[in-house]
Structure 1
Amino acid sequence: MLSRLSRPRIVALCSLPVVGLIGVAVFAPLPFSVAQPGLTANVLGKNAGTPVITVSGTPTRKTSGELRMTTIEATSPGTRVSLGQVVDNWFRGDRAVMPYDAVYPTGDTVKEIERHNTAQMRQSQDAATTAALDHLKKDPADVKVTLRLADVGGPSAGLLFSLGIVDKLDGDGSGGDLTGGRTIAGTGTIDADGKVGAVGGVALKTQAARRDGATVFLVPKAECADAHTNLPKGLRLIPVTSLDGAVDSLVALEKGTGKIPSC
């Protein structure tokens, strides 16, 4: 899940006594992007004044906890960073130097990339709704779910969307919050069958999650090792591979019973 970071500042140094290959290498644009922890949004609440999840056709329940989707912010599309910037950011725990094509894999212009990310978000929302209603054994013909999240694109909020729908309609299955009143964050794509996929940028997303009050972070199991990189103190990792497994883990955490997987 990606939001944009302002264009990086490059200080131009003029009238240097020696301008050679080293100077060219330091300031030449490279095919990288610099990323940092981005915004988080509670899918059980409002975003830009509008509820993220709206359900009609069936009763919903009040929730008390938070389910926060997470993002990274990256240098603007079309921006290439210099070797100097790569070196400056390489060893920072709150920054990551990523291949440009890994951040913006499709399109050369801002509009092309935004269209691609918007399409991915719509597909992710459709899959999240299908997976959640299937988990709850509800007929999609009887229940209408609308998902709105401004200024964010890509597919990696899928898992959190599904969990938010489940919590609003069923909670933990016995009347309690799926979150147990906690602030829980996470990331992960989801398909219509409820399978959770890897996303990238997990180490930065854990920092965004802890910054915004989360104590638990749901991470695609395949990215456990990445999630441990610079893991903030006080943030518990729970690996997931499916929506069913994520729900089971949160119910076990909320009730204090059963085995909860760990990275």
Structure 2
Amino acid sequence: MPRRTATMLASTLMLIVLLCAGVFIKVPYSEMTPGPTVNTLGEHGGEPVLQVSGRKTYPADGNLNMTTVRVTSADYKMNLVQAVYGWLAHDSKIVPHDTLYPDGKTEEQSTQENAEEFSQSQESAKVAALKELKIPVKSWVIVRTVFKDTPAEGKLHAGDVIKAVDGKAVKQPDDVAKLVTEHKAGEDVVFTIVPAKEQAAAEKEKRTATKTQKITITTRKSGEAPDKDRAIVGIQAGTDHTFPFTIDIKLADVGGPSAGLMFALGIVDKLTPGDLTGGKFVAGTGTIDDNGKVGPIGGIEMKTVGARDKGAQYFLTPAENCAAAAQDVPEGLRLVKVGTIDDALGALKDIRSGDTSALPKCTTN
């Protein structure tokens, strides 16, 4: 056999061996790819994404698309060949498995957590939008979660309204932790609450809940770094709201908090005359809090790819994601840096006017 032929044959066999080995070698990585992008001003699954009743709404053209990312499941075992292919592909991102599923989190746990975050993002989007439009929203502090095997278990319940701690009025969720940590572990703290059932009944009957209870709880040490001696009772406080009219967000099979900004903008567009986009195709992402602050999200590179593939011309990008997004911008897509809902509305004003020279840019540094 000629030497050239033998060399080619040996090389081919070696390549086959390496490919076979790569298929069987499992690596601790997961994959992210572009997910669906949905117009918050349009329909999904045959019904409007945003439905408002009890308030005048206006037709809205153009696109304000929220974007998503698909991820491999928690039990998916990626092989070396798939990882290498993903690293080389433009529309895929390979990340350590623990990035998506930390501390051995299961698929069910991740799905539940994403559903809760999605629900909370909808509430915050409604609040931020109505505040922007100067429409009053009633808010109060509640017990969001009671942790198992803590002093509060069995004494406080999810949905209880926290009126005061040690007689001091509570206005924000952070007030609760501040007042509790004024104690030393082992000391009593007194919560003044409206029980969840009473609050629910009052909302249904459209009255103010007045029946309060005082609950005494003995604090204990947190036992967690960096302040293991910090006094806790074992709850997470949150905020609940009553809206002056009904806003429903209909979007199944989506999780996480990253659609908050686009939902808020969609609500503003529905409740005001004219079009925020001027008929342009705008997509974006970002969490939003009750005060309209936009926060960072994961998978930004995949979301810009998905948006551009759908036809987006502009992409509203959280300020903290700008550097990563600017590393590889899909051709034909313009990234717009936003830090608040006001920033986003200002950018949309420029976009619909046609004068985009002053749009805040995303840069790599």
8 A Cα contact 1:160 1:186, kept in partner: yes
Indicate which of 203, 216, 231 corresponds to 2:314. 216
DSSP-derived class of the 1:35 partner? strand
DSSP-derived class of the 2:345 partner? helix
Task: State how far apart, in whole Å, the 1-side matches of 2:359 and 2:275 are.
Answer: 17
Task: Confirm whether residue 50 of structure 1 aligns to residue 47 of structure 2.
Answer: yes
DSSP-derived class of the 2:302 partner? helix
Q: 1:53 to 1:117 in 2, by over 3 A?
A: same
Indicate which of 179, 189, 194 corresponds to 2:287. 189
Deviation at 1:150, TM superposition (A): 1.1
Q: CA offsets, 1:110-161, max 9 Å, x none?
A: 3222111111100110111111111111123422211121111111101100
Task: State how far apart, in whole Å, the 1-side matches of 2:331 and 2:70 are.
Answer: 22
- Matched to 2:110, the amino acid is I
TM alignment of 1:158-169, pairs within 5 A: 158-169=260-271
Structure exhibiting the larger radius of gyration computed from Cα positions: 2
Task: Confirm whether residue 261 of structure 1 aligns to residue 357 of structure 2.
Answer: no
Task: State how far apart, in whole Å, the 2-side matches of 1:80 and 1:133 are.
Answer: 45
Q: CA offsets, 1:147-199, max 9 Å, x none?
A: 121111111101100000011112xxxx3210110111011111111111111
8 A Cα contact 1:29 1:82, kept in partner: yes
Task: Confirm whether residue 101 of structure 1 aligns to residue 98 of structure 2.
Answer: yes
8 A Cα contact 1:106 1:113, kept in partner: no
Indicate which of 62, 71, 75 corresponds to 1:74. 71
Deviation at 1:255, TM superposition (A): 1.9
DSSP-derived class of the 1:218 partner? strand
Deviation at 1:222, TM superposition (A): 1.6
Q: CA offsets, 1:7-44, max 9 Å, x none?
A: xxxxxxxxx99xx9x98776343321111111111111
Task: State how far apart, in whole Å, the 2-side matches of 1:148 and 1:100 are.
Answer: 31
TM alignment of 1:1-263, pairs within 5 A: 27-105=24-102, 108-140=105-137, 141-170=243-272, 175-257=273-355, 259-263=358-362
Q: 1:184 to 1:26 in 2, by over 3 A?
A: same
Deviation at 1:50, TM superposition (A): 2.0
Q: CA offsets, 1:226-258, max 9 Å, x none?
A: 212331111111011011110111112212458
Q: How many residues align?
A: 242
* Unaligned runs of at least 5 residues, structure 1: 1-15
- Matched to 1:191, the amino acid is D
My pick for the range that moved more, 232-241 or 222-231, is: 222-231
DSSP-derived class of the 2:346 partner? helix
